[in-house]
Homo-oligomer: A and B are copies of this chain.
Amino acid sequence: MTKPDYEKFFSSRINLMSPSPIREAVSKIAYKSKIKPVISFAAGEPDPDVLPRDIYAKLASEIFLNVKKIVNYSPAEGVPDLRDEIAKFMKEYESVETSGENIIVTVGGSQALDIVARIMLEPGDIVLTENPSYVNTLLCWRHYGVRIVGTPMDDEGLRTDLLEENIKKLKNEGRLIKLVYTIPTGQNPSGITMSMDRRKHLLEIASKYDLLVVEDTAYNHLVYEKAEIKPLRSMDKEGRVIYVGSFSKVLGTGLRIGWLEAPEPIIQKIRYSKQPMDMCAPVPSQYIVLEVLRRGLFGKVKAKAIESYRVKRDLMLSALDKYLPELKHTRPVAGMFILLWLPEKLDSFKFADMLLDKYDVAVIPAAPFFVDGSGRNVIRLNFSMAKPELIEEGVRRIASLVEELSSK
């Protein structure tokens, strides 16, 4: 009797796969929460108290009884009526003209991003992103062996002038740039929203250098101030934007319903790729979202979320100004996150561990979001999940630990 040597069976790409630092942090927090109450600025999720579980209970009860095939497979592309409703949704909320034919329903935006990688990326390819960028996309795409090149942001978002410099350099080296990945609105982790000028410039660059852009719109519906912004996809005249949509941040991450909208040649490949991956997105979740859209409930749920998160954002910004006036942080008009730069000499991983251990406050070290090893002293603060009455106290404790460590 011999146990197998498992190592020899793993793909050579196995070392490209690493645990998500967010999920690892969330596990630690969950463990600690069992012992003591924790103020969490960690996970990037809607507040369960804002999500309309009562509406879902009623809808679910109805559709399980009335939709005969609700526990059978849907087409791999998604329930046809849902694809049509999403097309209408994109018109109404995103000023995008499209049709259900160009939409594939996915298991959240995450799967959408994995599918894009699956049909496009292979070892050695170059992908351009904002720096920092969303860690799960980085982790997922690194599985495919790509090299990720980041470009910094400022208050107006991606520095498109520097992006163009990077592109020129890479083109001169003879590299094929496969994709530019951006989260233009309420970016994760920075909370920054790209200005319209930059958006237009990005599309010009895509055209000039013959590039495709993946637009991750996860936070497009959580905008807290009047902002004259439009999705890249709505201004894309050449078919260069692959639109990744998600209902997670407004309707709830647990439903796992997102989508891809793209030009037909891409959609066709996605269809072939997705079929054997998972057969289809969860059908009860698809019908819940379908009914939410059909009955015009999205706008109401969204309005309630915005109202709640705006208050929490303001509380967090005020507290940062009050307790940590000397530290740099972002001031988001959209999304769920604020990035905070700790004093240079502090390591954010150690800081986050100590903060949880001693002060019962949870944050996410942002280093893994940076693609170039920078950002060691940066932490990500989520403001959507915490109770409003605890936000100031949480920030006060962060300031206490900063002071404690700085004076050493």
Query: When chains A and B are docked, how far (Å) is the Cα of A254 from the Cα of B272?
Result: 19
CB nearest to A285 among chain B residues? B282
- Report whether A71 and B48 are in contact in the complex, using a CB–CB cutoff of 8 Å: yes
Q: Mark A1-36, 1 if CB is under 8 A from B, else 0.
A: 111111111111110011110010011000000000
- Report whether A17 and B272 are in contact in the complex, using a CB–CB cutoff of 8 Å: yes
- Report whether B76 and A277 are in contact in the complex, using a CB–CB cutoff of 8 Å: no
Interface pick from A261-269, A304-312, A339-347, A353-361? A261-269
Q: Mark A36-71, 1 if CB is under 8 A from B, else 0.
A: 000000010110100101101110111011001111
Chain B min CB distance to A343 (Å): 31
Interface pick from A219-227, A232-240, A315-323, A325-333? A232-240
- Report whether B239 and A9 are in contact in the complex, using a CB–CB cutoff of 8 Å: no
Chain B min CB distance to A1 (Å): 6
- Using C-beta atoms within 8 Å of the partner chain, give the interface range for chain A: 35 or more
- Report whether A256 and B238 are in contact in the complex, using a CB–CB cutoff of 8 Å: no
- Report whether A276 and B143 are in contact in the complex, using a CB–CB cutoff of 8 Å: yes
CB nearest to A76 among chain B residues? B23
Q: A61 touches which one: B57, B74, B107 (CB < 8 A)?
A: B57
Copies in the complex: 2
Asked if A402 is at the interface of the complex by the 8 Å CB criterion, the answer is: no
Query: When chains A and B are docked, how far (Å) is the Cα of A47 from the Cα of B171?
Result: 56
Name A183-232 residues within 8 Å CB distance of B.
207, 210-212
Known: A4-B238, A119-B17. A69 touches B43 (CB 8 A): no
CB nearest to A208 among chain B residues? B2
Asked if A166 is at the interface of the complex by the 8 Å CB criterion, the answer is: no
Asked if A132 is at the interface of the complex by the 8 Å CB criterion, the answer is: no
CB nearest to A256 among chain B residues? B282
User: In the assembled complex, which residues on chain B have CB atoms less than 8 Å from the CB atom of A388?
Assistant: none
- Report whether B255 and A71 are in contact in the complex, using a CB–CB cutoff of 8 Å: yes
Q: Which A residues are within 8 Å of any B CB, using their own CB?
A: 1-14, 17-20, 23, 26-27, 43, 45-46, 48, 51, 53-54, 56-58, 60-62, 64-65, 68-76, 107-108, 110-111, 114, 118-122, 136-137, 139-140, 143, 176, 178-179, 207, 210-212, 237-240, 251-256, 263, 265-266, 269, 271-273, 275-285, 288
Given contacts A4-B239, A46-B71, A254-B282, 4 further A-B contacts (CB under 8 A): A13-B122, A23-B76, A254-B284, A255-B283
